[in-house]
């Protein structure tokens, strides 16, 4: 457990405590339930868990509206339950990443409650106030479906307060030194408990300045560097992950010289994966990765297909957005804000070949993959639920009552179970998939085993090959003498490809999932035929045993 770069080799599983297992029959998952399911997660083969917000909250934004940073929501248990969970996870060599949501608090947080009462409150300057709602007018609105302005009037304070998200989430004022100290104290509280990493929410928006977009400002980077210095000073093996939904050139500064964030999500890559498979053309993927600047050696991209939010389309052009809406939103209910609220399996029309192909990309492109809970089974969504709740329904363990998730009354569950004829828990659940050798769950386990055998996936360089068939996305990954060749067919039809592998002449080609020997690389172009949405993960090894 003591490799400081552990996050480069990690496979992260993202989950919501409330969605995993309910141990006390109140209809809401909790830490005791999650602790009981650590064996499942260990067996799946993931190496780290990322937990969505677990703190006291009025739950108007699923816990991203925090009213106390130093406790556990009573629905989920106690700090003691959390510590037991953390220790049990560590005992299984699983790392734990939690949320640091610092751009804003809930309006129910005692700081805001006090601040609004009087201009002389010691907490008044913890937030951003104004007499007018015209300041910072160059700033975009993020939650376009619900918010008309980034300012809201507070009748008690008799002033407007600034918020980048919902109006019940006032932004903290990072120009105030006490706010920065408070945030660092909160962070240390969780790091002292042994948390291995923190996903820092909404980092581009910490500081506001007139005449700017109020995103990615140098002053924001200064705050983040201060946070990183506190991590390095006391907790050298921990990891900070940036949620910065921005273009690659604007995300790059969050890595700075390896002294700001260790990791950052690659937001623009994600929708382009969905575009490439629809267009049967590799260019959306190769273009965005070519535009992605190199990052310092101690840094890493976080890759994902789906998460707890909408499939955000903020980082695509207007034309690309129209295309993705047209192709993936057959019902207007599937849209929310600037994105699509659906899960992976339903986006892929429940086509196992497509689900595998997208996972093949997720697990072989440069970065650390993040799996969203339930996607290892191919769970579906429920677009009739409000906000982004359709992708946050209970985990489907068995075909029994309440999917084995809870012993509460069915009506008491925090969200209804998926009972769709295709994706419903009666047919689609962990128990059933563990019985079937070729289930998606078993396939996911296999693919994770292979991924973990080769550090090249997490650490290696990337070089695209350019075969004339644009439906084929092929790349070489290299690390410490190992060479991997990944070939993906983005088309719904069988495709031939000729790869120029002359620099590898004489090497053996070994398919990694079946350990099957393919023809050796020779002078002539290397010919492959791929089934619809087929993929190959090859190792290129010199025939006398030494790896290339």
Binding site for ligand BGC (CB under 6 A): 61, 64, 165, 169, 201-202, 243, 308-309
CB of 14 to ligand BGC, least distance (A): 11
Q: Which is nearer to ligand BGC, 16 or 354 (CB)?
A: 16
Q: Which is nearer to ligand BGC, 169 or 495 (CB)?
A: 169
Separation of alpha carbons 243 and 226, rounded Å: 17
CB of 308 to ligand BGC, least distance (A): 6
Helix (H) or strand (E) holding 432: helix 430-435
Cβ-closest residue to ligand BGC?
64
Give the residue carrying structure tokens 């790896």. 547
CB of 248 to ligand BGC, least distance (A): 18
Q: Which is nearer to ligand BGC, 101 or 358 (CB)?
A: 101
CB of 479 to ligand BGC, least distance (A): 31
Q: Which is nearer to ligand BGC, 390 or 534 (CB)?
A: 390
Of the candidates 9, 243, 376, 381, the residue annotated as catalytic is 243
Q: Which is nearer to ligand BGC, 16 or 116 (CB)?
A: 16
Give the residue carrying structure tokens 């707890």. 308
Q: Which is nearer to ligand BGC, 6 or 13 (CB)?
A: 13
Indicate the pairing of strand 495-499 with strand 482-489.
unpaired
DSSP 342-406: --HHHHTTT-HHHHHHHHHHHHHSSSEEEEETTTTTT----TTSSTTGGG-PPP---SSGGGGT-
Answer yes or no: 39 catalytic.
no
Q: How many Cβ atoms sit within 10 Å of the Cβ of residue 211?
A: 8
CB of 136 to ligand BGC, least distance (A): 18
Answer yes or no: 201 catalytic.
yes
Q: Which is nearer to ligand BGC, 166 or 405 (CB)?
A: 166
Separation of alpha carbons 285 and 289, rounded Å: 6
Burial class of residue 385, CB neighbours in 10 A (0-12, 13-18, 19+): middle
Task: Give the CB-side neighbour count of residue 308, counting CA atoms within 13 A.
Answer: 21
CB of 242 to ligand BGC, least distance (A): 11
The tokens of 86 are what?
A: 């953390």
Burial class of residue 399, CB neighbours in 10 A (0-12, 13-18, 19+): middle
Of the candidates 9, 99, 201, 260, the residue annotated as catalytic is 201
The tokens of 132 are what?
A: 């007018």
SS3 content of the chain, % helix, strand, coil (to 5): 30, 20, 50
Helix (H) or strand (E) holding 289: helix 283-290
CB of 43 to ligand BGC, least distance (A): 28
**Helix 218-234 vs helix 177-193: angle between axes, to the nearest 10 degrees?**
40
The tokens of 367 are what?
A: 């970065």
- Supply the residues annotated as catalytic: 201, 243
């Amino acid at each position: 457990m003591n490799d400081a770069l552990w996050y480069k080799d990690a496979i992260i599983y993202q989950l919501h405590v409330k969605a995993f297992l309910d141990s006390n029959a109140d209809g809401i998952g909790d830490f005791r339930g999650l602790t009981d399911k650590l064996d499942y997660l260990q067996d799946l083969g993931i190496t780290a868990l990322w937990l969505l917000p677990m703190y006291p909250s009025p739950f108007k934004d699923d816990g991203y509206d925090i009213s106390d940073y130093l406790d556990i929501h009573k629905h989920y248990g106690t700090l003691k339950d959390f510590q037991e969970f953390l220790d049990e996870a560590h005992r299984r060599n699983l790392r734990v990443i939690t949320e640091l949501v610092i751009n804003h608090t809930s309006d129910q947080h005692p700081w805001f409650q006090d601040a609004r009462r009087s201009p002389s409150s010691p907490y008044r300057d913890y937030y951003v106030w104004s007499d007018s709602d015209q300041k910072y007018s160059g700033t975009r609105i993020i939650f376009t479906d619900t918010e008309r302005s980034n300012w809201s009037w507070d009748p008690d304070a008799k002033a407007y307060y600034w918020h980048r998200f919902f109006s019940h989430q006032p932004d903290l004022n990072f120009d105030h030194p006490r706010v920065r100290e408070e945030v660092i104290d909160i962070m240390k509280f969780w790091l002292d408990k042994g948390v291995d990493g923190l996903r820092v929410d909404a980092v581009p928006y910490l500081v506001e300045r007139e005449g700017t977009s109020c995103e990615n400002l140098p002053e924001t980077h200064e705050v983040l560097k201060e946070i990183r210095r506190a991590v390095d000073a006391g907790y050298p093996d921990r990891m900070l992950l940036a949620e910065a939904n921005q273009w690659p050139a604007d995300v790059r500064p969050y890595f700075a010289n390896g002294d700001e964030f260790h990791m950052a999500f690659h937001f623009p890559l994600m929708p382009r994966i969905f575009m490439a498979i629809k267009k049967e053309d590799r260019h959306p993927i190769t273009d965005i990765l070519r535009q992605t600047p190199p990052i310092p050696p101690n840094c890493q991209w976080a890759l994902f297909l789906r998460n707890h939010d909408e499939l955000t389309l903020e980082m695509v052009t207007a034309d690309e957005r129209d295309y993705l809406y047209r192709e993936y939103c057959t019902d207007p209910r599937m849209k929310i804000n600037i994105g699509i609220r659906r899960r992976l399996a339903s986006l892929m029309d429940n086509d196992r070949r497509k689900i595998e192909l997208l996972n093949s990309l997720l697990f072989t492109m440069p970065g650390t993959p993040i799996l969203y809970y339930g996607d290892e089974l191919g769970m579906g969504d429920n677009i009739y639920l409000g906000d982004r709740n359709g992708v946050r329904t209970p985990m489907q363990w068995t075909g029994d009552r309440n999917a084995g998730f809870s012993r509460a009354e069915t009506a008491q569950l925090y969200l209804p179970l998926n009972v769709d004829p295709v994706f419903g828990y009666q047919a689609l659940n962990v128990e059933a998939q563990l019985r079937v050798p070729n289930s998606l769950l078993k396939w996911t386990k296999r693919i994770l085993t292979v991924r973990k055998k080769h550090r090249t996936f997490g650490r290696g360089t990337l070089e695209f090959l350019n075969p004339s068939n644009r439906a084929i996305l092929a790349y070489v990954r290299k690390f410490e003498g190992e060479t991997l060749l990944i070939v993906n067919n983005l088309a719904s039809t069988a495709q031939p490809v000729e790869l120029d592998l002359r620099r590898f002449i004489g090497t053996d080609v070994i398919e990694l999932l079946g350990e099957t020997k393919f023809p050796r690389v020779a002078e002539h172009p290397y010919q492959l035929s791929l089934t619809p949405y087929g993929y190959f993960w090859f190792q290129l090894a010199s025939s006398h045993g030494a790896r290339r």
